[in-house]
Amino acid sequence: MGNDGGSIPTRRELVKEAAKALTTTQVKEVQSEQQEYAWSHDPLSQKALARPVVSDSAGTLYNKESILEYLLNTEDDATKAEADKVLDGRVKSLKDVIEVKFEVEEGQREGASTGRTEKWICPITRTELGPGSKAVYIVPCGHAFAGSVVKEVSGETCLQCNEPYASNDIIPIVPIVPTDIARLTLRAKTLKEKGLTHSLKDAAGKKKKRKHADREANGETNGTTNGTASKAKDSTSEEDKKEKERKPKQVPAASDGIKNASTAYLTKKVLAEQEEKNKRRKLQQNENVKSLFSKGNRVPDAKNSADYMTRGFSFGK
């Protein structure tokens, strides 16, 4: 620095004006843009939303296919890391999402040049559900309505399927109000403490903990006899676990244990895509290995085939 005809700026010259905070109008514009994108695009795949659509405990919408791809992906790559940041630990299985059942009106959605093309409406008020309109869905049935309908209707049964629900199980879709976001965060924390998922189903491992607690309770009340019996059962269960670990694990088929036809189809599709990707990766590796070897049928020279210890030397007679 110096001797180059330039000058060293001082802090007073660099910081002339403090950063201005966004105005209320600018904040609303940013929020409306974010809502428009969240109502029309999947945050995981960046593709347009298309049914079947699912939602997590935060009210964010995803394509069900992208959630299945995330759950079936076992590789630690950049795509997996980005998906982990978006989901923030809210989705660990299909029990952590609810399939949102939107009623679709015929005709294309206004301004649908990019993103979602279907027009989702409330089945009661027949108004469009999207950015700017507070929409909700009900757990566990997943039917979506306008927020005003759920407030005005007395009783806590779904207007579509008459399934009962609790007031805390009304989930706002793509919420922006701080009170709604705080309520959803508290609800997710409460369900986790109770061993339940977003769909109000038992989380993984809850049944094992319950059985273990029942065994301990029976052992304490029934004395030493039941205690020895429980120990014997525990030892046999440990032996069974060891035998299962020794046996080779079988990969389940795409449709095993999946009752929903759409979920089974999407799982099969995702597994086929992953298998095709693995085949391409293996073929690419084989080509790289083959490139290390010569493909010609040239016979090596006899002089170069001599022992490297005696190569270039001659022995006297």
Q: Which two tokens stand for residue 51?
A: 């049914």
Amino acid making up residue 92:
K
Amino acid making up residue 203:
A
Listed by start position, the domains of the chain span 25-176
CA distance 107 to 53: 19
DSSP states of 200-265 as a string? Answer: SPBPTTHHHHHHHHHHHHHHHHH-HHHHHHHHHHHHHHHHHHHHHHHSPPPPPPTTTT---HHHHH
153: which strand partners? none
For the chain, how big is the Rg over CA atoms in Å?
31
Q: What is the pLDDT along the chain (317 residues), one digit of tens a residue?
A: 556 767 787 777 777 666 677 788 888 888 888 999 999 999 999 999 998 999 999 999 999 999 999 999 888 888 889 999 999 999 999 999 999 999 998 877 766 667 788 899 999 999 999 988 899 999 999 999 999 898 887 678 999 999 999 989 999 999 999 999 999 999 999 999 999 999 999 987 666 556 665 666 665 444 444 554 455 556 556 666 666 665 555 544 444 555 677 777 788 888 888 888 877 777 776 666 666 666 566 655 555 555 555 555 555 65
202: which strand partners? 196
CA distance 49 to 37: 10
Q: Which two tokens stand for residue 188?
A: 């997710």
pTM above 0.95, yes or no: no
Among 125, 68, 73, 63, which Cα is nearest to 255's? 68
Q: Which two tokens stand for residue 138?
A: 């009900």
Cβ neighbours of residue 29 closer than 8 Å, sequence gap 6 or more:
none
Within 13 A of 276's CA, how many CA atoms are on the CB side?
Answer: 6
Amino acid making up residue 57:
S
Amino acid making up residue 69:
E
Top-tier CATH class for 25-176: alpha beta
Q: Which two tokens stand for residue 38?
A: 């969240």
Contact 57, 90 (CB under 8 A): yes
Cβ neighbours of residue 183 closer than 8 Å, sequence gap 6 or more:
168
CA distance 44 to 13: 44
Contact 49, 174 (CB under 8 A): no
DSSP-derived letter for residue 250 is: P
